């Protein structure tokens, strides 16, 4: 594949990873008449990747975009628009969006028939469902980029976080007279950050069925209500 094509594919995949699913508008003027054409970026981007590079349909960014596209489909047995696709979450069901979306799934199916094997498809399904803690789990999203981690990586992060926090707090307690009250207490608070984040990460991947926000709230409450007062008492 030529380098310009590869660069364009990377750009499209990067936009999908950043969840850039906007609708582009194009203005045409014919005398006194002005027409605005609206292009749905999501299905067009997915279709371009499935046609130009079928092997890239397994990329996480492509799969994220495909799931987002499926979320635009109307379902329900009593829905008059059942099976149709919306232009966006707030948009309308249109024949244009439905046709573009069906084209995406046609090309994806063709690529799957040639490249996918049942074992790999089954593995993807298990990862999406999060049936086991050793499968990668979505941890947090930073600037539209999702951080994934499994239980083994989270266990290593937990060990490093606890060791780092213990080192920082030990230094703060040992040199509290040299550092002063304000600096030593600030160092203790900073030393709580690595254990807190690593505990949050490990708990999230070990309990994939529990909401990450709920876990974050419990971890924050536990560190502020229990550990922080104890360490602060040691510095008093």
Quick: pLDDT tens for 7-49. 777 777 777 777 766 676 667 777 788 777 666 788 888 888 8
pLDDT of residue 167: 92
Residue with tokens 């974050």: 216
Assess whether 7 and 108 both reside in one domain.
yes
Assess whether 25 and 86 both reside in one domain.
yes
Mean predicted confidence (pLDDT) in 80-85: 86
Assess whether 110 and 145 both reside in one domain.
no
Last residue of a domain, one of 116, 131, 151: 116
CA-closest candidate to residue 9, choices 64, 46, 58, 60: 46
Last residue of a domain, one of 52, 82, 116: 116
Q: Residue 122: inside a domain, yes or no?
A: no
Assess whether 100 and 43 both reside in one domain.
yes
Assess whether 89 and 29 both reside in one domain.
yes
Q: Which two tokens stand for residue 146?
A: 């999702």
* Residues facing residue 25 across a β-bridge: 38
Structural domain range at position 56: 3-116
Q: Residue 121: inside a domain, yes or no?
A: no
Assess whether 105 and 195 both reside in one domain.
no
**Domain total for the chain?**
2
pLDDT of residue 141: 78
Assess whether 190 and 153 both reside in one domain.
yes
44/157 Cα distance (integer angstroms): 39
Assess whether 13 and 111 both reside in one domain.
yes
Q: Residue 203: inside a domain, yes or no?
A: yes
């Amino acid at each position: 594949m030529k380098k310009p094509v590869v660069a364009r594919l990377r750009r499209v995949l990067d936009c999908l990873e950043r969840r850039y699913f906007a609708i582009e508008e194009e203005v045409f003027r014919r005398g006194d008449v002005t027409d605005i054409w609206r292009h749905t970026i999501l299905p067009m981007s997915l279709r371009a990747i499935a046609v130009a590079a079928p092997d890239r349909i397994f990329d996480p960014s492509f799969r994220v975009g495909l799931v987002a596209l499926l979320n635009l489909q109307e379902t329900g047995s009593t829905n008059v628009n059942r099976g149709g696709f919306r232009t966006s979450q707030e948009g309308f069901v249109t024949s244009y969006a439905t046709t573009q979306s069906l084209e995406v799934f046609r090309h994806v199916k063709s690529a799957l028939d040639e490249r996918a094997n049942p074992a790999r498809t089954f593995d993807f399904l298990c990862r999406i469902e999060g049936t086991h803690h050793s499968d990668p789990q979505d941890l947090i999203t930073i600037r539209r980029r999702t951080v994934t981690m499994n239980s083994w990586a989270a266990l290593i992060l937990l060990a490093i976080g606890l060791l780092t926090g213990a080192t920082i707090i030990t230094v703060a307690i040992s040199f509290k007279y040299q550092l002063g009250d304000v600096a030593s207490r600030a160092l203790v608070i900073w030393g709580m950050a690595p254990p807190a984040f690593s505990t949050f990460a490990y708990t999230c991947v070990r309990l994939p069925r529990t909401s990450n926000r709920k876990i974050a709230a419990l971890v924050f409450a536990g560190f502020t209500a229990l550990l922080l007062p104890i360490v602060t008492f040691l510095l008093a």
